[in-house]
Structure 1
Amino acid sequence: MKRLFTASLLILALPLLMPGAQGAEALEVGASMPKMDVEMKNVDGGMLTLEEIRGEKGTLVIFSCRHCPFVQKWQQRMVEIGNTYRKKDVGVVFINSNDPERFPEDRFESMQEQAEENGYHFPYVMDLTSAVAKAFGARRTPEAFLFNKDDELVYHGAIDDNLNHPDKVKKPFLRDALDALLKGETPPRQKTPSIGCSIKLR
């Protein structure tokens, strides 16, 4: 009887253990940007789509939130990157796909405070149904997806190689990818492991 009960629990748990159970597999390098027509609520109160956000030279999408300690550690570096490359014709957006019912710190009003306190000069939007995160296969906050001018993925992964010490970063993965993009070159690294909190999908 005990063995049968254990087997039943395992069967019930399989959907949670299988890759992609919480959404699609992560986009592969070269994949097209998905869900470009889905409206998301920006911190200014308006609605935006990725089609409207995309830049002339490329588009940077970072899945983020407020409560995650990994986001908090990388916050200023992420904001500096966003503000800098937005001025270089790269579309920039931070997306919060977390369920605010599970994490009240990630509610819309908190996002507005976060954007103001940290000087976001780019859209910060709420993925109202988590549909965008699921389509991207995003799993973590923060997690970066960089697309070229043809909306093809050229980099996916981490911000850099040092969470705790900005002054000791040796491999600025995302900056390197952005600089390569602006030169029309292939990023030196196109995929790195994302380290952060799991996205709490709706």
Structure 2
Amino acid sequence: MRKIIISCFLLLFTLHLQAQTGGYQPGQKVEAFTLQTETGQKVALTDHAASKAVVVIFTNALCPYAQLYQKRLQQLNTDYAGKGVKFLFIQSAINTNNTTTKAANDVQYAVDTDQKVSQQWGATKTPEVFVLQPDNGTFTLRYKGAIDDNPQVEGYVKENFLKNALDAIVANQAPAISQKRATGCSIKRF
């Protein structure tokens, strides 16, 4: 009986680990996507091939964690816009009611209606970021995961994972940390 329990535990642990590490990994090329916003405007990753970096954020305005990070992400967007960094916000489902909600301060979401992009990329939380480095029409993943180490209190942040990754890429260097597990609302699959 003990062997069965241990075997079940190991199987569940392995499946959980695979779910957390699925999708694209740092250093891999990612497949471009085209999505639409709530207003029907097309958003294509390839439109940003001339950028220094592209930050793809899987988020949802209904997620409390995404709400805590919204101001920080908007500030990073403002801070890095002049450095050639583009931010793309993708609406991901966090419940079975996959309706879109307009975020504060007019953030425009692209909507991943069929969940193809979030599944392909391995996004499991909202918010979760993927930092891409464009090169001759292709995009290489350089960082994925958490924005920083404290979703609850911005003033207590000790490590700014996203900012550090962007600083490295803007300086033509590889990020020191290429992956950190995201904290947030789980993306629901349906």
Question: Does the alignment reach a TM-score above 0.5?
Answer: yes
Pick the aligned partner of 2:149 from 147, 161, 164: 161
Query: 2:105 is aligned with what amino acid?
Result: N
Q: Does 1:95 align with 2:90?
A: yes
Match of 1:200 in 2: 188
Q: Does 1:73 align with 2:68?
A: yes
- 1:118 to partner: Cα distance: 2.4
Q: Does 1:147 align with 2:135?
A: no
Change (3 A) 1:187 1:127: same
Pick the aligned partner of 2:22 from 25, 42, 47: 25
TM-score by length of structure 2 reads 0.82
Identity among equivalent positions (%) equals 29
Greater shift after overlay, 21-30 or 85-94?
Answer: 21-30
TM-score by length of structure 1 reads 0.77
Query: 2:30 is aligned with what amino acid?
Result: M
Higher percent of residues as strand: 2
Pick the aligned partner of 2:112 from 127, 138, 149: 127
Query: Unaligned 5+ residue runs, structure 2?
Result: 1-7
Query: Unaligned 5+ residue runs, structure 1?
Result: 1-9
Separation in structure 1 between the aligned mates of residue 27 and residue 142 of structure 2, nearest angstrom: 6
Q: Does 1:137 align with 2:116?
A: no
Separation in structure 2 between the aligned mates of residue 130 and residue 24 of structure 1, nearest angstrom: 17
Q: Where in structure 1 do 4 or more consecutive aligned residues deviate above 6 Å?
A: 20-24
Query: 1:70 is aligned with what amino acid?
Result: Y
What do the CA deviations read for 1:4-56 (whole angstroms, capped 9, x no partner)? xxxxxx9xxx99x935997991311101122x1x3311244312221124452
Separation in structure 1 between the aligned mates of residue 38 and residue 75 of structure 2, nearest angstrom: 18
Instruction: Report the secondary structure of 2:29's partner residue.
Output: coil
RMSD over aligned Cα atoms:
2.8
Match of 1:7 in 2: none
Change (3 A) 1:163 1:20: closer
Query: 1:84 is aligned with what amino acid?
Result: D
Query: 1:57 is aligned with what amino acid?
Result: K
Greater shift after overlay, 55-64 or 134-143?
Answer: 55-64
Pick the aligned partner of 1:107 from 55, 74, 99: 99
Instruction: Report the secondary structure of 1:152's partner residue.
Output: strand
Aligned residue pairs: how many? 181
